[in-house]
Amino acid sequence: MKRERGSTIERVLDILETVAASPKPLSATDINEVLDLPKATAHRLCSELEAHGYLLKRIDGKNYQPGNRLFDVAVGVLANERFSATRHAILTALSEKVGETCNIAYPDGLSMAYSDRVETKAPLRLQFSIGMRVPLYCTASGKLYLSTLPKSRRKSVIGKLKLEKRAKNTITDPELLIAEIDLIEKRQFSIDNQELYDDVIAIAVPIKDKHDRFYSSLAIQAPVSRISADNSDRYLPLLREAAQELSLLAGDD
């Protein structure tokens, strides 16, 4: 017989922590086995957390992963003063080294949202606000996030996207986009080469948590007159060094 375990709120928090820490989606039965809860309680609480957006049920209909509201909580914690000054300092240092705008973005449904940004001092630049959302399929950060999803999930998400032409090089063919995402998965960086806006390029690398999972992207953004796809490799060491520093903040207890 399973033991009773704490209050409802303790059980809810335990479920959220278990799902957030898991390297793979979990069923209510999996969660029940980890936490030793009454079976009916585990299923009921998972359903309620799904209904409120804290958990998201996978396409298989039984396994749970973190939902958008849980992502928002995580982003809110990272935006807390304890982290924000250090994070912004890392972003500022990177921007000064590369001489271009740098940003951090996180997945938000079928978009990416900016959680921090440092603008270049150069006169030619784009002004994006914190919290602004951009599409997954035609941005360096969005394509990078798609590359971290399991291939079946990746194809399902791409199938839900409206692949509209946004700029001269926007990929609007789902099969070509899937091939591009597969390539990004192999090389572990992503380029938006005039896909969101004409004459603008972006390069993104992943920021990972202490479990080596993607939780946000780090990108530089510039006009093609200053950066091109041909010379983008020169920026990768600096991007990856900064991303590693930012990853350490996620593991800071």
Contact 139, 163 (CB under 8 A): no
Q: What is the mean pLDDT of residues 211-236?
A: 90
pLDDT of residue 251 exceeding 80, the answer is no
Residue 93 domain-assigned (yes or no) = yes
Residue 154 domain-assigned (yes or no) = yes
Same domain (yes/no): 211, 244 = yes
The per-residue pLDDT for 97 is 94
Q: How confident is the model at residue 219 (pLDDT cuts 50, 70, 90)?
A: very high
pLDDT tens per residue, range 163-184: 999 999 999 999 999 999 999 9
Between CA 87 and CA 245 the distance in angstroms is 9
**Phi, psi values for residue 193, rounded to 5°:** -100, 85
Same domain (yes/no): 62, 104 = no
Q: Which domain holds residue 58?
A: 8-66
pLDDT tens per residue, range 98-154: 999 999 998 887 889 888 889 888 766 566 666 688 999 999 999 999 999 988 889
Residue 163 domain-assigned (yes or no) = yes
Same domain (yes/no): 33, 118 = no
Whether the CA torsion 218, 236, 185, 251 is positive or negative: it is negative
pTM: 0.73
Residue 2 domain-assigned (yes or no) = no
Same domain (yes/no): 54, 117 = no
Average pLDDT over all residues of the chain: 87
Same domain (yes/no): 15, 123 = no
The first and second tokens of residue 106, run together, are: 């996180």
Residue 51 domain-assigned (yes or no) = yes
**Residues 17-51, buried b or exposed e (16+ Cβ, 10 A)?**
eebbebeebbbbebbbebbebeeebbbebbeebee
Same domain (yes/no): 62, 90 = no
Same domain (yes/no): 174, 237 = yes
Q: What is the 3-state secondary structure (H, E, C) of 179-199?
A: HHHHHHHHHCCEEEECCCCCC
- The CATH number linked to 26 is 1.10.10.10
State the total domains in the chain: 2
Same domain (yes/no): 183, 224 = yes
Same domain (yes/no): 26, 139 = no
Same domain (yes/no): 56, 88 = no
Residue 56 domain-assigned (yes or no) = yes
Question: What is the side-by-side strand order in the sheet with 214-223?
Answer: 133-135, 111-118, 101-108, 214-223, 200-208, 190-193
- The CATH number linked to 146 is 3.30.450.40
pLDDT tens per residue, range 2-20: 444 568 888 999 999 898 8
Write the DSSP symbol of residue 79.
T
**Phi, psi values for residue 125, rounded to 5°:** -160, 165
Same domain (yes/no): 108, 233 = yes
